[in-house]
Amino acid sequence: MTRPGRLRAVAAAMAATVLLTAGCTAGGDDPPPVPAPSATTTPGPGTPERTVKQVSNPFGAHWDWSRYQQFGPYLRRLAGSATYEEISWCEIERTAGRPDWTGLDQIAARTRDLGITLHLKIRTGVCWATGGTARHTRGAANKTESAMPTDLAAYQRFVRSVVQRYGPSGVREYAIENEVNAPSYWAGSPEEYARLVRAAAETIRATDPKALVVDSGISSVAYGMGVADRLVRAGQVPEAIAAYQAYFQRRVGTRGQQIPAVTGEAQLRRALGTETNSRSLRFLAVTESLLADRTVDVRQVHFYEHFSGVAPLLDYLQATTPPGTPIQAWEVGQFWRDGDGEPASRAVEMVKTVSLLAAGGISEISWLPLAYNPNNAAGSEVRYGLLDPDGTEREAGRMLAGLADAARDATVTPLPASVAGRLNGVAFVRGGSSTLVLWSASNTPVTVPPGPGARAGAVGSPLGAAGAGTTVTDVPVLLRADQPVDRILAAVR
């Protein structure tokens, strides 16, 4: 569960670094005859009798199931994490009253076999259930935007059948739609989206009192606009410009004038006022209203930016998320248009991004994509994969698996304030042992003195004895010792 104080502490500790880097569905279908996995539970917000499944490993991934055989060996290294599958009413029930669950049944079974928790993202699509004709299609599967159902009761019957079928096999979180701020994903208005979520939430809770409702996951770019807009509205224009520059440093010009370079207030206000960005801000606002009134239980974050954008994002989430609301990052990745040929840099940035999110209280972090798709529309690897297309493990994959090993069944802990400005990272505490992911917050190396049982090394590699202490540079290292975190770092110099 997200701790608001942690969000504030991590964002504050990173602030200096940021500035430096400037239909009818048959409801009687029986669920698959599989047992529900055991789970550790904690109360959901506002409803103490409801429970939320806790993952034992915050670091996971999202993958293409058509390449499951190639990816399976690596995915087993991420056991204890969570992932999601996006489903569409229009795809599952191509003919009214005749749903086909075959593909999703297989995904649910295979995810359980991997030891990974499955969440579902329920979309409508465009078809007989919504009327109209799709205006946007994407990918080889020809996915379309979603539209408001013509019969809300029929939609609720479909949602009920999903929960009835997959709740017994361990699915407890259901997101409603995906990135509704984008017209290519949602054809309706913010008000229609809110009405859809309320209908879905009512049905999900009535069907499974243990289930949690998740928002659509506003896009990474839209979150960046929200970060800047909030600061402008608060009269903190210089801070808004600095946050915009840190967040969008790799995005400027990638979408024409939607993400322009910004150096002054007038430019920033123009950027925020474009039709696309105004729409994003409206959908961000309606998402936050659904969180505020507890229609939605879990906030879903998407983040594909430079790691220096994490600090302003955490600050924004702290300011706009109801206390006690879990925050999960179902999509985390790396947008780097010109990043080809720099695998070491990309792997290092991955470690920094996911570590800072974890330190900030983000409880689930799924890297997307797991593997680069060479047939993508961009023609290059704009979004970096942990694996090669054939499933071969890259350095980034080895590093994420190393983080998963360190974090599994451990308590995630931010670094103490005493090292702010000198060290960045996160700690994982298990029993009497602490494992720290550390890197220098500046260009100055930092020395961590030796401690009882101290071992150190590169993230994802075997650790060696650190009897002479550990020198920390801007490349993350893993340090493990048989001491509490504050004692390990007490004499940092």
**Which of 409, 428, 459 delimits the end of a domain?**
409
Dihedrals φ, ψ of 59, to 5°? -105, 110
Nearest-5° Cα angle at 370, 365 to 371: 160
Last residue of a domain, one of 357, 390, 409: 409
The answer on 337 and 296 residing in a single domain is yes
Residue 493 counted as domain residue:
no
* Separation between Cα atoms, residue 149 and residue 127, nearest integer Å: 9
Co-location of 398 and 417 in the same domain: no
Percent of all residues in the chain with a pLDDT value above 90, rounded to a whole number: 79
- DSSP state at residue 321: S
Domain limit, last residue, from 363, 391, 409: 409
Q: At CA 110, angle to CA 141 and CA 398, rounded to 5?
A: 90
Same domain, yes or no: 344 and 224? yes
Do 15 and 131 reside in the same domain of the chain? yes
Distances (CA, A) of 25 to 95, 120, 162, 205: 10, 18, 10, 18
Average pLDDT over residues 415-435: 96
Confidence of residue 155 (pLDDT cuts 50, 70, 90): very high
Query: 385, 371 in Cβ contact below 8 A?
Result: yes
Query: Residue 22 maps to which CATH number?
Result: 3.20.20.80
**Edge-to-edge order in the sheet of strand 365-367:** 59-61, 365-367, 327-332, 299-303
3-state secondary structure of 78: helix
pTM for the full predicted model: 0.90
On whether both 342 and 425 belong to a single domain, the answer is no
Domain that holds residue 480: 412-488
Domain count, the chain: 2
Domain check: are 404 and 445 in the same one? no
Q: How many residues does the chain have?
A: 493
Domain co-membership, 353 together with 403: yes
CATH number of the domain residue 432 falls in: 2.60.40
On whether residue 60 sits in a domain, the answer given is yes
pLDDT in tens, 183-238: 999 999 999 999 999 999 999 999 999 999 999 999 999 999 999 999 999 999 99
Among 79-83, 109-113, 332-336, 352-356, which stretch is predicted with the lowest mean pLDDT? 332-336
Cβ-based neighbours of 25, under 8 Å, separated by 6 or more: 93, 97, 99, 154, 157, 158, 160, 161
- Nearest of 211, 208, 210, 180 to residue 194 by alpha carbon: 180
In a domain, 255, yes or no: yes
pLDDT band at 378 (very low <50, low <70, confident <90, very high): low
- How many CA within 13 A on the CB side of residue 186? 26
pLDDT at 289: 98
- In 137-251, which ranges are continuous DSSP H helix? 152-166, 190-207, 220-233, 237-247
Confidence of residue 340 (pLDDT cuts 50, 70, 90): low
> With b meaning 16 or more CB within 10 Å and e meaning fewer, what string describes 426-440?
bbbeeeeebbbbbbb
The answer as to whether 466 is a domain residue is yes
How does pLDDT run across 390-406, given as a tens digit for each residue?
Answer: 999 999 999 999 999 99
Is 275 within the bounds of a domain? yes
Shared domain check, 145 and 212: yes
Across-strand partners of 477? 438, 458
29 has a pLDDT exceeding 50: no
In a domain, 197, yes or no: yes
Computed over its alpha carbons, how large is the radius of gyration of the chain?
A: 22
Q: Are residues 121 and 78 in the same domain?
A: yes
Mean pLDDT of the chain: 89
Q: Give the span between the Cα atoms of 157 and 50, in whole angstroms.
A: 22
* pLDDT, greater one: 218 or 43: 218
Question: Does 472 reside within a domain?
Answer: yes
% of residues, the chain, pLDDT over 70: 86
d(CA 415, CA 403): 16
Whether residues 387 and 465 share a domain: the answer is no
341: confidence class by pLDDT, cuts 50, 70, 90: low
Same domain, 142 and 189: yes
Q: Is residue 86, in this structure, part of any structural domain at all?
A: yes
- The answer, yes or no, to whether residue 162 has pLDDT greater than 70, is yes
Is 20 a residue whose pLDDT tops 70?
no
Q: Which two tokens stand for residue 436?
A: 């720290």
Burial (CB count within 10 angstroms: exposed 0-12, middle 13-18, buried 19+), residue 341? exposed
Q: Same domain, yes or no, for 32 and 156?
A: yes
Tokens standing for residue 405: 């090993």
